[in-house]
Structure 1
Amino acid sequence: MIGISAVDLFCGAGGLTHGFEKAGLAVNVGYDIDPICKFPYQENNKAKFIEKSVENIKGIELAKHFPEGHYKVIAGCAPCQPFSNYSRRYDVRDSGKEFYHSLKWKLLYHFARLVKECMPDIVTMENVSQLQQHQVFEEFITKLKKLKYFVTFYRVNCQDYGIPQTRRRLVFFASKFGNIDLIPPTSDRHNYKTVRDTIYHLEPLKAGQSSKTDPLHQCSKLSALNLRRIRASKPGGTWRDWPEDLITKCHRKKSGKSYPSVYGRMEWDSPSPTMTTQCFGFGNGRFGHPEQDRAISLREAALLQTFPEKYQFFPSNESFAFTKIGRLIGNAVPVKLGQVVAKSILNHIQEIN
């Protein structure tokens, strides 16, 4: 049996690590700067959690996590907000070196630094697909190629791999031994996993209610006005379906008319929209339940991110902050995408042996 070990940088609540473990690729340790990641990461995975910023990690420290004779894998998902459509005001190519060497990009540069210091056999990264449009990504590739890595990357439609979500991601690989091929899709538009497949079985809730058997199956409260709005919303529709008196002031302005994908319901027989850190809020996207008059619950969001139904995000005897757990879920790598990445790496290692 070939020994393979991984370290997960920016590990969050453990979506990538859990996917690796389910695929049979061991993760020894996960690093993250956010202390609330520790419980879900260690409770649901075999790996150890270390609370530490990537800025303060040295390559010699990472090297200690790899047993002698094992293939060494470093995985990471640098927080993607700087690269997303929501935060990108202009292309970095037009803004000069001073900008793209600024704080916005420092995590990706530290990731490249750790690769250079540790020289693992394989590197993988998952991020928003828009990262390809930035010069910082070109620099990242150039640095790894200078270190003699073979680089491949793919724009992945998550629906193609059994993830019930219209989520597009960039999956990056670098190997000392040759190109890593992404495994073929497991689904197509004829058998995409849907919202119905994923959350239909959960007990019904009213807005602001929580399940007595699963505290994560809890949804946010709605004001009287937003209750009227969701009752006027059609699955897959927009706020444009509402009576005039329910439409928000910002959407009546010309500048607001181009934002239809808020205050909407999901559709039972389609994948969900992309889960975000605000996916528990009715007004933050098409996060309304397909038929119940409420936003989706945190458990429903976690299931749409392909976390197992028993995945625990906080101790059962403690209360939790909605926004913090929502952030963990929305920022996570979908577990099934983690499996796809791990299987691609395992196939590659088998090919070279």
Structure 2
Amino acid sequence: MNNLIILENAKMLKTNLKAVDFFCSGGGMSSGMQNSGIKILAGIDYDNTCKETYEANIKGAKFIHADVFEYKEETLEKELNLQKNDDNLVLIGCSPCQFWSIINTDKEKSSKSKSLLVEFRRFVEYFNPGYVVVENVPGVLRRKDESGLEDFIVWLNNQGYKVHCKIHNVSEYGVPQSRKRLTLIANRITDSELEPVKFEGKKLTVYDVIGEHNGFPKVPAGHKDETGFMHTVAGLKQINIDRLKLTEKNGGSRMSYANNEDLAPKCHKNDTTNFKDTYGRIWWDRQSPTITTKFFSISNGRFAHPEEDRAISLREGAVLQSFPKDYIFKTTSVANTARMIGNAVPPKYAASIGKAIIQNHTK
């Protein structure tokens, strides 16, 4: 068994696979791909506030600050010395997904994001890489005509790519979180349809990654961690602390005080059927709910700690997204950090995609 592992690692080291990560944000996808054995050449993003975080973690990669609507294929070609028809090249496009998300967002404000897949396709057509990866919310598949996904898949097929395009739950891939994601992997190197490589062993739960036994000391609401560990927790009004004190440990919900005249939120008073997750606690023995950009707030979902009277911390949210504990976040506020973490592709899921590509490439 050990010999097999050594042989597989040796194969990974010998690959010449390299990737460019469009819409890279803080580097979740790049981190996972890099850990799987694929060299990351660059990450591209319009949000320049991601630059420090990306460069601090994705060693050797270049951060390109660019608006993909204006950025030209020839510019990227020269900037990274890329070649067309390169079998070793992987182009990754994990565009912001607010427009296609089922979560209540400002659709007018995020309308520009619905065309990002079309813009990414320009680069795929120009470079004709060995592999293409797209990761996004399931809504892109449900509305594949409008999103441009269907036309893109037809084009990929016509170009000789073998295309895998399905919805996967990242909990099957070593991520301690329930999060459904659309994943497209296009491969023109072999005739194989590539799927992310599933995690061997039991699914990880919240208990497997956070808590005092995992190096997360008990802290109160409003705790500020000035170290790089960032075990920082958003503050709470006293009424919310009182609500959590009444909320059953390990998965309790606002039902504990739904009929309490003093504590029940006005919009939920005597309502025991709707929005049950709001103000709820995460379960120890389950995967966490989807970590959104608002995971630091108990009023935005089931984001209260399983037993402490607070929301989960920034580092706890990051670990539930499968970021390493030593991942560096160079951000300026709780909200900005949470947005970067919540928008990220879970690195362990990204690694499972990278492993599938590597295994195919080293056959």
Length-normalised TM-score, structure 1: 0.88
What residue number does 2:90 align with?
73
Given that 2:233 and 2:310 are in contact with CA atoms closer than 8 Å, whether structure 1 keeps it comes out as yes
Give the Cα separation in 1 of the matches to 2:116 and 2:197.
30
Q: 1:115-164 CA deviation, whole Å, 9 max, x = no partner?
A: 11222121001111232111222222123233332211232111111100
SS of the residue corresponding to residue 327 of structure 2 reads coil
Do the aligned residues in 2 keep the contact of 1:205 with 1:211 (CA within 8 Å)?
A: no
Deviation of 1:210 (Å): 2.2
**1:257–1:89: structure 2 CA closer, same or farther, 3 Å change rule?**
farther
Cross-structure match for 1:297: 313
* Compared CA separation, residues 128 and 27, structure 1 to 2 (3 A): same
Q: SS state of the match for residue 262, structure 1?
A: coil
CA contact (8 A) 1:83 1:131 kept: yes
Structure 2 residue 340 is matched with structure 1 residue 328: yes
Q: Structure 1 residues 75, 106: CA separation in 2 closer, same or farther (over 3 Å shift)?
A: same
Offset at residue 60 of structure 1 (A): 2.1
2:121: which partner in 1? Answer: 112
Residue of 265, 277, 284 corresponding to 2:293: 277
* Letter of the 2:122 counterpart: R
Name the residue aligned to 2:34.
21
In the alignment, what sits opposite 1:252?
269
Residue-by-residue CA offset, 1:90-132 (whole Å, 9 max, x unaligned): 9xxxxxxxx9xx7352111101122112221210011112321
Instruction: Please give the alpha-carbon distance, in whole angstroms, between the structure 1 residues aligned to 2:322 and 2:114.
Output: 29
Q: Would you say the 8 A contact 1:6–1:66 is kept in 2? A: no
Alignment CA distance shift 1:273-1:148 (3 Å)? same
> Is 1:31 aligned to residue 44 of structure 2?
yes
Compared CA separation, residues 147 and 253, structure 1 to 2 (3 A)? farther
- Residue of structure 2 equivalent to 1:231: 245
Match of 2:206 in 1: 195
Supply the AA of the counterpart residue of 2:327.
Y
* Correspondence for 1:211: 225
**Matches of 1:331 and 1:292, distance apart in 2:** 25
| Contact 1:159–1:187 (Cα < 8 Å) also in 2 | no
Structure 2 unpaired stretches of 5+: 1-13
Which amino acid in structure 1 is aligned with residue 75 of structure 2?
Answer: E
Query: Are residues 238 and 343 of structure 1, via their aligned partners in 2, closer, same or farther at CA, if it must alter by over 3 Å?
Result: same
Aligned length: 334
| Other-structure match for 2:4 | none
Aligned twin of 2:3: none
| Residue in structure 2 matched with residue 240 of structure 1 by the alignment | 255
- 2 CA distance for matches of 1:347 and 1:262? 42
Q: Does the 8 A contact of 2:198 with 2:352 survive in 1?
A: no
Pair 119,87 (structure 1): closer, same or farther in 2 beyond 3 Å: farther
CA contact (8 A) 2:100 2:137 kept: yes
**Residue aligning to 2:142:** 133
Instruction: Evaluate the alpha carbon distance shift between residue 148 and residue 57 of structure 1 in structure 2; reply closer, same or farther with a 3 A threshold.
Output: farther
Distance 1:106 1:195 in 2: 36
CA drift of 1:253 comes to: 8.0
- Aligned identity (percent) is 35
Q: How far apart, in 1, do the equivalents of 2:129 and 2:226 lie? A: 46
Conserved? CA contact 1:152–1:179, under 8 Å = no
Query: 1:249/1:12 Cα in 2 relative to 1: closer, same or farther (>3 Å)?
Result: same
- CA drift of 1:212 comes to 5.2
> Helix, strand or coil: the match of 1:199?
coil
Unaligned runs of 5+ in 1: 91-98
Counterpart among 254, 267, 274 of residue 283 in structure 2? 267
Tell me if structure 2 keeps the 8 A contact 1:5–1:66. no
Segments ≥4 residues shifted beyond 6 Å:
none
Q: Tell me what 2:330 maps to.
A: 314
What SS class does the counterpart of residue 35 from structure 2 fall into?
Answer: helix
Q: Which residue of 2 aligns with 1:94?
A: none
Distance 2:141 2:337 in 1: 29
Q: Aligned AA for 2:208? A: D
Note the aligned Cα RMSD (angstroms): 2.3
1:55 and 2:55 aligned: no
Gap change, CA 1:144 and 1:183, over 3 Å in 2:
closer
Q: 1:34 touches 1:51 (CA, 8 Å); kept in 2?
A: yes
Aligned equivalent of 2:183 = 171
The answer to whether the 8 A contact 2:87-2:131 is kept is no
Native 8 Å contact 1:72 1:120 kept in 2: yes
Any conservation in 1 of the 2:87–2:130 contact (CA below 8 Å)?
no
TM-score by length of 2: 0.86
Q: Give the secondary-structure state (helix, strand or coil) at the position aligned to 1:342.
A: helix
Match of 1:205, SS state, is: coil
* Distance in 1 between residues matched to 2:153 and 2:285, nearest whole Å: 39
Change in Cα spacing, 1:66 to 1:123, as seen in structure 2 (3 Å) is: farther
